[in-house]
Structure 1
Amino acid sequence: MTRAVLGVIGGSGIYDLPGLEGLEDVAVASPWGEPSDVLRRGRIGTTEIVFLPRHGRGHHYSPSDINYRANIDVLKRAGVTDLVSLSAVGSFKGELPPGHFVLADQFVDRTYLRPSSFFGRGCVAHVAFSHPVAPLLQKRIARAAEAEGIAHQVGGTAVCMEGPAFSTLAESLFHKGQGWDLIGMTSMPEAKLAREAEISYAFVGMVTDFDAWHEEVGPVDVSQVIHHLHSNADKGRRLVARLARDFPADHEPCPIHSDRALEHAVITAPEHRDPDLVAKLDAVAGRVLGR
């Protein structure tokens, strides 16, 4: 069995994770560039936690400027086996108001400026991604939300837009018309990269607004988002603390094999692999490339 290490990526409003015991800040170098911040490592009970603020402390990275590859790479190097992504999102449904948490398990990627894979020319891999979220981890998060009395929905679809501007009314109405639940700016390519790194991943969308579709509320702006960020951040920290208290000591094998996603994914023959790219993949894919 592999020892479980719980990773947490904090979105807008969550730049720290109070309550960690044995706290230390760890700077981890990555061949993919600079991550958003140093890793904050500690424990809640017996569970080891590695925390990374997605936008950096002080929120100095926009969604398009985040180095998602470096972030996932340093979490992998830190031994993270299970990763919880907390993100501020807009809602397309009246029954999912601000303050509601949605454990989305499907994504629609509408980004276009971000590198979305560790692999490429010189070492090609195709991972299965039909089910982006690790179901056992999602169930544990749902139980933690229930225990903390946090209003939540299990399952749903989140569309990820490029940003940093919010949606036009036409975009918002289109996305709502598709039956999707949420819109955000950071789930992609984060979830794809976690799958390539064989990290079990789950998403928590913390609703702050109704995007632009709601006639009575009006279009979203930063002041509206900030109004709900603080209470959401407090609930997000409570959720993580509860999840950590009940987390297993050993990593639970994922039934959809998210933690073995590279098993048959690399298709470039060993003799044709680019050694420079292979070297950069040492943490992410060393398990399969070292054979």
Structure 2
Amino acid sequence: MTQTMIGVIGGSGIYDIDGLEGADWTEVQSPWGTPSDAILTGTLGGVKMAFLPRHGRGHVHSPTTVPYRANIDALKRLGVTDVISVSACGSFREEYAPGDFVVVDQFIDRTFGREKSFFGTGCVAHVSVAHPTCPRLGEACFIAAKDAGVTIHNGGTYLAMEGPQFSTLAESRMYREQWGADVIGMTNMPEAKLAREAELCYASIAMVTDYDSWHPDHGEVDVNDIIKTLMGNSEKGREMVRRLPALLGAERAPCPHGCDRALDFAIMTAPEKRDPALLARLDAVAGRVLTA
């Protein structure tokens, strides 16, 4: 058993967690750059918590410029074991209405302007992201949201686009009709991939704000409408988070899905060929296997 520490990455509209005991904003240094912001730490219901505003307080980072590697590395350094990603999204499904939440379990990655791995020349590794989220963690989020009175859908494919512009009508129709995506957003990739490389359990909760541009009765995305829905979603999201400590507990066993052992057989580079400088940067992310 290890001590649970829940890390929440808050998206648009969620910039803190209510009710934290001993709340303190902590600056975390990372060899992968400066994280989006300081990290709010404390305890909630006897469980350690860490909150990181993905875009920074005041929303200073665009989806492309979010320092994803630094963010995940910083959470790992703090001792986070379980990462809950909360983000706004558009919906491709009539039944996934604005104000609803979706427990994402698959991704289509269409981003192209971001660093997507901690590994590279000097230490090559390949992890599986066939199942990119943790079912145990997703189920806890589903229960927490239901208990909070949120309409939440269990399962969905998230199309990650580069942004910052919203989709064209042709793109929206293609993603919905030909690719089978359920929701669309700009921030869950490469975040989910990096969490897997860092051996962190990861769950993605997408908060629907609009119908993108495919819906004949809603037209193109209206930012004013999105902001209105975001405000309501933000309180729902905070209420969901408040219920997670009781569901996850102060201690946890090894992940039954192997998220915390993703690097067991992933590193391909021979020990004598590994780059010491890169290994030094990987001390938090991959220290478990590199020092074994």
Q: TM-score, normalised by structure 2?
A: 0.98
Aligned residues: CA RMSD: 0.8
| Matching of residue 99 in structure 1 with residue 114 in structure 2 | no
**Contact preservation (8 Å) 1:135, 1:254:** no
Q: Deviations over 1:73-123 (max 9, x none)?
A: 000000000000000000001100100000010000000000000000000
1:1-291 residue pairs with structure 2 within 5 A? 1-177=1-177, 178-291=179-292
**Contact preservation (8 Å) 1:135, 1:255:** no
Q: Deviations over 1:35-64 (max 9, x none)?
A: 000010011111110000000000000000
1:254: Cα distance to partner?
A: 1.9
Q: Deviations over 1:128-180 (max 9, x none)?
A: 11001111111111111121111000111001000000000000000011221
Gaps of 5+ in 2: none
In structure 1, C-alpha distance between the alignment counterparts of 2:280 and 2:190, rounded to whole Å: 22
Aligned length: 291
Task: Give the letter aligned to residue 254 of structure 2.
Answer: P
Task: Give the letter aligned to residue 102 of structure 2.
Answer: V
In structure 1, C-alpha distance between the alignment counterparts of 2:222 and 2:66, rounded to whole Å: 21
**Contact preservation (8 Å) 1:100, 1:152:** yes
Q: TM-score, normalised by structure 1?
A: 0.99
Structure 2 SS opposite 1:246: helix
Structure 2 SS opposite 1:180: coil
1:256: Cα distance to partner?
A: 2.1
Task: Give the letter aligned to residue 135 of structure 1.
Answer: P
Distance 1:218 1:252, change over 3 A: farther
1:270: Cα distance to partner?
A: 0.5
Structure 2 SS opposite 1:214: coil
Gaps of 5+ in 1: none
Structure 2 SS opposite 1:254: coil
In structure 1, C-alpha distance between the alignment counterparts of 2:213 and 2:86, rounded to whole Å: 22
In structure 2, C-alpha distance between the alignment counterparts of 1:153 and 1:194, rounded to whole Å: 23
In structure 2, C-alpha distance between the alignment counterparts of 1:87 and 1:58, rounded to whole Å: 16
Q: What percentage of residue pairs aligned between the two structures are identical?
A: 57
In structure 2, C-alpha distance between the alignment counterparts of 1:30 and 1:42, rounded to whole Å: 20
**Contact preservation (8 Å) 1:3, 1:251:** yes
Q: More displaced, 28-37 or 145-154? A: 145-154
Structure 1 SS opposite 2:248: coil
1:225: Cα distance to partner?
A: 1.1
